A and B are shown apart, each in its own frame.
Chain A
Amino acid sequence: MQLSCPTPKLDFDVVTLGHGSGGLLTHRLLNQGVFEILGDVLVNSEHDGACIVTEEKMAMSTDSFIVSPIFFPGGSIGDLAVNGTVNDVAMCGAKPLYLTLSLIIEEGLAVSELWKIVDDIAIACRKAGVKIVTGDTKVVDRGSGDKIFINTTGVGSYLPKAKISPSRVSKGDAIILTDSIANHGMAIMSKREGLAFESEIKSDSRALNHSVESLINAFEDQIHLVTDPTRGGVATVLNEIASKTNLGVELTHEKVPVEDQVAGACELLGLDPLYVANEGVYLIFCPDQLAEEVQENLKALGHRPAMIGKMVEEHLKQVIMDTPMGGKRVISMLPGSQLPRIC
């Protein structure tokens, strides 16, 4: 296993309950392991918490990560824990600055896996440009966790030109999707279900804060809302927006980008990509006349955007999709997770 820094040499192979005791073992695990790997990403206050002085308007978001498997094509629970929270702060129209990092480790986790996860955290923080300012480590009995759970909380300062809110989404707004969907969920699913596909599907896990910042700098308050369709996918987020704005969402099936291998995997497993999780795409709501320009801007940032629909005054609080057959289909909220069909 190649880490971005030298692998810490400690005389234990697995995490034990003692590493969560707060005593010497905890200190060694942190000081000679975790802190060393985090390196410049860690702002260590050497006290019980971080002190942040600010007069700016701040955004704050928290998220817990419980993904299984903890390593998957295109990422790990480590970078996911950074990117997920960084993106949530970014979607507020803010520049993420600091993260907290809480590790809940199941007794028996291989230390080499922990180092890899912490390394992924460090790399993701560098890419996103955020620092870890405080954290916590707990160890639970074997069987009381699932290898490792991570909680991160992020704070960021509002971008001065941003005016992001669901309440600003208006009739006629274009809905732009930055990239193709369902990669993250299907990457996880393909490993979890023990299925092998000819071409490996990679998670799209990545930080979106730089992209959001560029977009807001370019279009300022013309960007009414940015939001990332993570758990529950595009369908769930659009239903939430329709409900909050008291408008309808009109989608065009053919415009929603799904990569061929992802669409194929969804077909095989009986899942609808619209409901599958993403970790590296976001939706933009802006006036229709800006749609082309916004998409050009996104292309320059490396995205492959598509205008997938618009906000309308009909079928209030509902998401309706035009089907290629010329009919219409309601995209509703799912009652729970998608369950694979029998045949």
Chain B
Amino acid sequence: MKYLKEYRDPVLARKILDEIRRTVTRPWSIMEVCGGQTHSLVKNGIIDVLPSEITMIHGPGCPVCVTPIHLIDAAIDLAMRPNVILCSFGDMLRVPGSNQNLLEAKAQGADVRILYSPLEAVAIAKDNPTKEVVFFAVGFETTAPANALSLVHAKREGITNYSILASHVLVPPAIKAVINDPLSKIDGFLAAGHVCTIMGNGQYYPLASEYKVPIVVTGFEPIDVIQGILMVVKQLELGTHEVENQYSRIVREEGNKEAKAIIEQVFEVSDQVWRGIGEIPSSGYQIQDKFKAYDAVKKFGISVDAPEEKTECISGEIMKGLKKPSQCPHFGKKCTPENPLGAPMVSSEGACAAYYHFSGTSIPN
């Protein structure tokens, strides 16, 4: 298929892999920030064919995995109310809250609907004027413009029975938090291509120069990921720390101006709790006051204090690259996709689920 086959070409993949092998002279740890890249690495078996000097570390870029548990509980609580239709992206439904997940709430009678776009939720609100429609607006900078647009659209249409439960996280502060962790030993980063499609590359220059790490904005197809790794390795071997753009067919230096404008119109940067990691300063978006009528937290009086989570899940260590999924004592035993102890085992973008599904539990990682 056009625009896919070119980026899955095995002959080209082998050429790039050969070049990585010729270039690398010593061990390097590279973090792919985005869960989509983790998915691609594991699903395509790329980890098997990388030279042993390269260790891929799976970053915190799975929005499902880092959505704080109190917001999942809040979504379930809202969904169980008889006058609420709760709309969500599909893979949020299996993420465990404190007592249950949204799929279980649905089985108990909650009206939970899987959507692909928040604009569909606005349409549902219009069609159901006696119901409150809440969209569980989860994601990185990538999904923020569409979520913001849904509020602008609802306001323009005079739709008052629509709101979003927002849990937006931002990539650059997370990279900073990972580098600042004293235990972290990451030499270079593959930055998340789709986030940069929206935001551009500007935020990465200060990170690369301050922390002296190469950052390569990378796509998600196998060729993208392999080429991104090659670009990082070349920089590491040369001792440079530039921001480079592997995903130039999609990512523009300045990002998408219209998308950024609509984010700025609706959201403002705030501190954000990341599940498994904790609070990271200025790492999320909250809804500005002028749109507070569409903020489910304010509309329904939801508590935003995140309780301390008691869990056997080591998702924080995994997302900071301190441990691999297979190093968790519960991986594939007490914790499986059917019975996840934590969110990284749920979404296919979660590092644990990606390893479980594509590498199995019996193949040493």
- Which residues from chain A sit less than 8 Å from chain B, CB to CB? 193-195, 260, 263-264, 267, 269-270, 315, 318, 320, 322-330, 332, 334-336, 339-343
Kindly list the 8 A-B residue pairs having the minimum CB-CB distance in the complex, ordered from nearest. Answer: A327-B45, A340-B90, A330-B360, A327-B48, A339-B90, A335-B338, A323-B45, A324-B10
Which of B75-83, B139-147, B264-272 participates in binding chain A?
B139-147
- Given that A340-B90, A341-B348 are known contacts, is A267 also in contact with B358, CB under 8 Å in the complex? no
Minimum distance in angstroms from B49 CB to a CB of chain A = 5
Contact of B45 among A264, A329, A334, A341 (CB under 8 A): A329
Q: Does B246 contact A (CB under 8 A)?
A: no
Residues on the A chain within 8 Å of B357, using CB: 330, 332
Contact of A341 among B14, B90, B337, B358 (CB under 8 A): B90
Residues on the B chain within 8 Å of A260, using CB: 1
Residues on the A chain within 8 Å of B4, using CB: 263-264, 267
Residues on the B chain within 8 Å of A194, using CB: 120
Q: Does B241 contact A (CB under 8 A)?
A: no
- Given that A340-B90, A340-B91, A342-B143 are known contacts, is A328 also in contact with B48, CB under 8 Å in the complex? yes
Which of B36-44, B181-189, B280-288, B291-299 participates in binding chain A?
B36-44
Which residues, 175 to 226 on B, are CB-close (under 8 Å) to A?
194, 222, 226
Residues on the A chain within 8 Å of B14, using CB: 326
Residues on the A chain within 8 Å of B347, using CB: 341-342
How many residues does chain B have at the interface if contact means C-beta atoms less than 8 Å apart? 50
Minimum distance in angstroms from A202 CB to a CB of chain B = 18
Q: Determine whether the beta carbon of A327 is less than 8 Å from that of B360.
A: no
Q: Determine whether the beta carbon of A343 is less than 8 Å from that of B140.
A: yes
Residue of B with least CB distance to A340: B90
Which residues, 1 to 47 on B, are CB-close (under 8 Å) to A?
1, 4, 8-10, 13-14, 17, 36, 42-47
Minimum distance in angstroms from B149 CB to a CB of chain A = 15
Contact of A318 among B43, B94, B362 (CB under 8 A): B362
Q: In the complex, what distance in Å separates the CA atom of A318 from the CA atom of B92?
A: 28
- Given that A195-B116, A325-B13, A329-B44 are known contacts, is A341 also in contact with B360, CB under 8 Å in the complex? no
Q: In the complex, what distance in Å separates the CA atom of A315 from the CA atom of B348?
A: 23
Minimum distance in angstroms from B218 CB to a CB of chain A = 15
